[in-house]
Structure 1
Amino acid sequence: MNAPRPALRPLDDALAALLAQAQPLAGSETVATFDADGRVLAEDLVSALQVPPQDNSSMDGYAVRRGEIADEGVPLPVSQRIPAGAAPQPLQPGTIARIFTGAPVPEGADAIVMQEDTQALEDGRVRILRVPDAGQWIRRSGEDITRGSTVLARGERLGPAAQGLAASIGRERLQVARRPRVALFSTGDELVMPGQVAPEAMKPGAIYNSNRFFLRSLLLRLGCEVRDLGIVPDQREATLQALREASRDNDVILTSGGVSVGEEDHIKPAVQQLGSLDLWQIAMKPGKPFAYGTIAVQSSRRDAQDVGTPSPTLPRQAGEGFCHFIGLPGNPVSSFVTFLLLVRPFLLKLQGATQVTPVAVQLPAHFDWPRPDKRREFLRARRNAQGRLELFANQSSGVLTSTVWADGLIDVPAGTTIAKGDPVRFLPLAELLA
């Protein structure tokens, strides 16, 4: 009698266990701020200056002393002109100063009157048509950033706005976490690369390897160095050799296919032979045959200590290091979804990122889902013009079209039905693919 299969691991438990193994990689590098998009900060950015550095005008207009403008209609002479970047003189009593957006406010001025509220007179004076409020249209020094404040914290993943913020305090270069080194390969004798065989010449049962393309792009978007090892045949020894080679100089091995229970699925026994398989089969749909483990490697591997702290459950001999292994399902939607929900946070944590999981939003369903599943489901959906969620018609794990059509995933708890109008938990792809 066959031994009963272990219960499927709940997704949240699997993610927690996975993240517990993702100790941040040792080491960092310095990059130009121009090139830091998508990288994770390895330092706190502390400002050495105020931003803005001095009070400045937020409008084109005139710098004035409010005490000299008791009533509307007062005409005053213009004593100086202050463009952005100029160093103004103190404002002379009884005068106003022509000033432009971003220009420093002269000493003595306590308000800006925008030019629409003024009238230029033929004698060169300017009539003030509206009495200004105190501090009107003045941006104060340090309003954005104060000297000594931390503007970006270690562990923050940088985007275009953060790059601009770093530049605003004068940072030309930034210290960032080093890139994870990831070896990528697919398994399956049925796989063919585009360009190798024309569509009309494909043999029965052959399919083009789509997973390799989107997985490589997703890894690059997450700042990884990718070593693509191609397609590995469905053979035990070939699988072992590919895993040995991939473990030598990489932090993570990522595979797609071969992690199920078929006779041609060699990944699971190969990983167990070379190391330890700590997670296998998740209670989620699509994506059940997800696997995580570690593979022991010889100490000659470069910077073995840089990959983190080994799992205490995996016996090791002195001088050995390890490489993380993650096996994704072969079905393309399953591979895509498990990467976003499990691999993405794992790789971000390896880089020391503090925010690794997506923020869900609540939106109303524009469909009925009367068939509850025993597993937690992730449905491909998109928002319509009314802000409600519509489902892609075919939710099969092999229909990659659904991932292009959709703009997010609906997170459906196990055993749950949905009626039109019900609020559902929605994970936008814009965040998951950033």
Structure 2
Amino acid sequence: MDICSTPGLMPIDDALANMLKSITPVTCTVEKLLSDSVGYVLAQDLHSPLNVPPFDNSAMDGYAVRIADLSNTTTLEVVGKSFAGIPYKGEWPPASCIRIMTGAKIPAGCDAVIMQEQATIDATTPNIVDFSQALPVRDQQNIRSLGEDIGQSDLVLPKGHRLTPRDIPMIASLGIPSLTVLNKPKVAFFSTGDELKPLGTPLQEGEIYDSNRYGIKIMLEQFGCEAIDLGVIPDDKDQLRQAFIQAQQQADVVITSGGVSVGEADYTKIILEELGQIGFWKIAMKPGKPFAFGKLLATDDSADAIFCGLPGNPVSAILTLYILVQPLLAKLAGHADWKAQPSIPAKALTGFKKAPGRTDFQRGIYTINEQGQFEVSSTGNQSSGAFRSMSLANCFIILERERGKVEAGETVYIQQFAPVFYA
């Protein structure tokens, strides 16, 4: 890859374009039970095998009537019942009505359902119902028609749609027990650094807990990937090489955290150049300037694997994963309808420090005022090592690359956190 030769800082859009053009979506499919399919991407268009609803049914508890029967009278005799799963059968005499429940099949000849709240029943003659307060009655009122929601053969969901919990009941209503979906991309990841220690271990001087892997794992799973956690790898050339080999053997994508900044990537860079084609980029974004991208080349034991090297600072690692790696993984997964969160104009309630040169993703808290306008304030400390700012935030404040300091009252653009941050 010739991306190493890119002078200066690479714009975010250029970095994304460079990555995305090298990605080919997965093609392998698997059959999944509907109950296990959330998060998977459809491998083919989904068409409805039937009408929904499959018959005309009542939208209310009430009375099935023929409007013509109410042309000369406001009272009708109840001659039968239609319950969900137990429809009315038999002749329907003139000048009468049928008690009906929500979801029950509409009797032949019925052209309206009057809700029970608009019906009056005399305790002395419970089989006689007065509908005077319901008049006039509209044709087809409170009737859900055959195929009103979904028609037989309709396109329900397109190929490339990632299945959500909202989709499952709808698909179940079609009687479809399983779906053909694309395999989830497998992503192996690990952190690098002698200073990183596992949770529950007492820290010695100069040591810190490895926090990045915990955020990376849950985000990868929310992106729709199978996450393979390989732990923490110390700054040892042989162990690093073995970790990369192991990761490539198991995964479509290999992600590391740490070891991509100038001066700290010695072993990592040597091993990556030995195993593949890797570029070390400086991205025009803050936080998250150091980033590595490329390919680990196929061997006798493994296929090609995409490589993404994230910075080691906690906020930088999560931000680059969210902004740069997420679109890559969406394309790899065949997730055709993935989109980045839209930018929304907001009034700055606080000032924001900013120097021209890099697009700045500051962590903010937005609210909506009484006029329906977005307002946003800073979470405080914006250091790339201060993850509490991310925990407190509900949005990114995106300050343009060439913009300078922002004063309170100016308009800025915010990006609300996607569901991945609320999983």
- For normalisation by structure 1, the TM-score amounts to 0.89
Q: Letter of the aligned partner of 2:145 in structure 1?
A: R
1:128-147 matches, cutoff 5 A:
128-129=131-132, 130-131=134-135, 132-147=137-152
1:75-224 matches, cutoff 5 A:
75-89=75-89, 91-121=92-122, 122-123=124-125, 124-129=127-132, 130-131=134-135, 132-197=137-202, 202-224=203-225
Native 8 Å contact 1:36 1:174 kept in 2:
yes
1:425 equivalent in alignment to 2:408: no
Which of 308, 331, 344 is equivalent to 2:313? 331
- Label 1:379 to 1:109 Cα distance change in 2 as closer, same or farther (>3 A): same
Native 8 Å contact 2:40 2:162 kept in 1:
yes
Native 8 Å contact 2:219 2:420 kept in 1:
no
Native 8 Å contact 1:358 1:432 kept in 2:
no
1:30-429 matches, cutoff 5 A:
30-70=31-71, 74-89=74-89, 91-121=92-122, 122-123=124-125, 124-129=127-132, 130-131=134-135, 132-197=137-202, 202-263=203-264, 265-278=266-279, 280-301=281-302, 304=303, 322-365=304-347, 366-369=349-352, 371-384=354-367, 386=369, 387-417=374-404, 418-429=406-417
Task: Render the CA deviation track for 1:230-257: whole Å, top value 9, x for unaligned.
Answer: 2122233432232122212321111000
Task: Render the CA deviation track for 1:112-137: whole Å, top value 9, x for unaligned.
Answer: 11111111133221011222111111
The separation in 2 between residues aligned to 1:266 and 1:373, in whole angstroms, is 33
Q: Give the 3-state SS of the residue equivalent to 1:253 in structure 2.
A: strand
Task: Render the CA deviation track for 1:282-339: whole Å, top value 9, x for unaligned.
Answer: 11111111111101131333xx4xxxxxxxxxxxxxxxxx111110000000001111
After TM superposition, the structure 1 stretch with the greater mean CA deviation from structure 2, 325-334 or 372-381, is 372-381
The separation in 1 between residues aligned to 2:6 and 2:14, in whole angstroms, is 18
The separation in 2 between residues aligned to 1:260 and 1:75, in whole angstroms, is 84
State the shift of 1:223 in Å: 3.1
- Label 1:265 to 1:66 Cα distance change in 2 as closer, same or farther (>3 A): farther
Native 8 Å contact 1:47 1:149 kept in 2:
yes
Q: Letter of the aligned partner of 1:127 in structure 2?
A: D
The separation in 1 between residues aligned to 2:189 and 2:393, in whole angstroms, is 26
The separation in 2 between residues aligned to 1:293 and 1:399, in whole angstroms, is 29
Identity %: 38
Q: Give the 3-state SS of the residue equivalent to 1:248 in structure 2.
A: helix
Q: Letter of the aligned partner of 2:237 in structure 1?
A: R
Native 8 Å contact 1:39 1:158 kept in 2:
yes
Q: Give the 3-state SS of the residue equivalent to 2:270 in structure 1.
A: helix
The separation in 1 between residues aligned to 2:218 and 2:344, in whole angstroms, is 29
Native 8 Å contact 1:407 1:430 kept in 2:
no
Give the aligned CA root-mean-square deviation in angstroms.
2.1
The separation in 2 between residues aligned to 1:415 and 1:370, in whole angstroms, is 13
The separation in 2 between residues aligned to 1:423 and 1:162, in whole angstroms, is 37
Q: Give the 3-state SS of the residue equivalent to 2:229 in structure 1.
A: strand
Native 8 Å contact 2:248 2:296 kept in 1:
yes
State the shift of 1:22 in Å: 2.1
The separation in 1 between residues aligned to 2:413 and 2:292, in whole angstroms, is 26
State the shift of 1:281 in Å: 1.9
The separation in 1 between residues aligned to 2:100 and 2:8, in whole angstroms, is 72
Q: Give the 3-state SS of the residue equivalent to 2:41 in structure 1.
A: coil
Q: Letter of the aligned partner of 1:175 in structure 2?
A: T
State the shift of 1:370 in Å: 5.4
The separation in 2 between residues aligned to 1:267 and 1:355, in whole angstroms, is 35
Q: Letter of the aligned partner of 2:417 in structure 1?
A: L
The separation in 1 between residues aligned to 2:206 and 2:352, in whole angstroms, is 33
The separation in 1 between residues aligned to 2:153 and 2:407, in whole angstroms, is 53
State the shift of 1:144 in Å: 0.8
- Label 1:140 to 1:279 Cα distance change in 2 as closer, same or farther (>3 A): farther
Task: Render the CA deviation track for 1:267-293: whole Å, top value 9, x for unaligned.
Answer: 233212211114622111111111111
Consecutive unaligned residues in structure 2, runs of 5 or more: none
The separation in 2 between residues aligned to 1:265 and 1:91, in whole angstroms, is 87
Number of equivalenced pairs? 408
Q: Letter of the aligned partner of 1:334 in structure 2?
A: S
Q: Give the 3-state SS of the residue equivalent to 1:133 in structure 2.
A: coil
Q: Letter of the aligned partner of 1:378 in structure 2?
A: F
The separation in 2 between residues aligned to 1:422 and 1:139, in whole angstroms, is 51
Q: Letter of the aligned partner of 1:368 in structure 2?
A: G
Native 8 Å contact 2:81 2:87 kept in 1:
no
User: 1:313 is matched with which residue?
Assistant: none
Q: Letter of the aligned partner of 1:393 in structure 2?
A: G
After TM superposition, the structure 1 stretch with the greater mean CA deviation from structure 2, 174-183 or 364-373, is 364-373
Native 8 Å contact 1:383 1:407 kept in 2:
yes
State the shift of 1:427 in Å: 2.2
State the shift of 1:60 in Å: 0.9
Native 8 Å contact 1:259 1:328 kept in 2:
yes
The separation in 2 between residues aligned to 1:278 and 1:69, in whole angstroms, is 80
Consecutive unaligned residues in structure 1, runs of 5 or more: 305-321
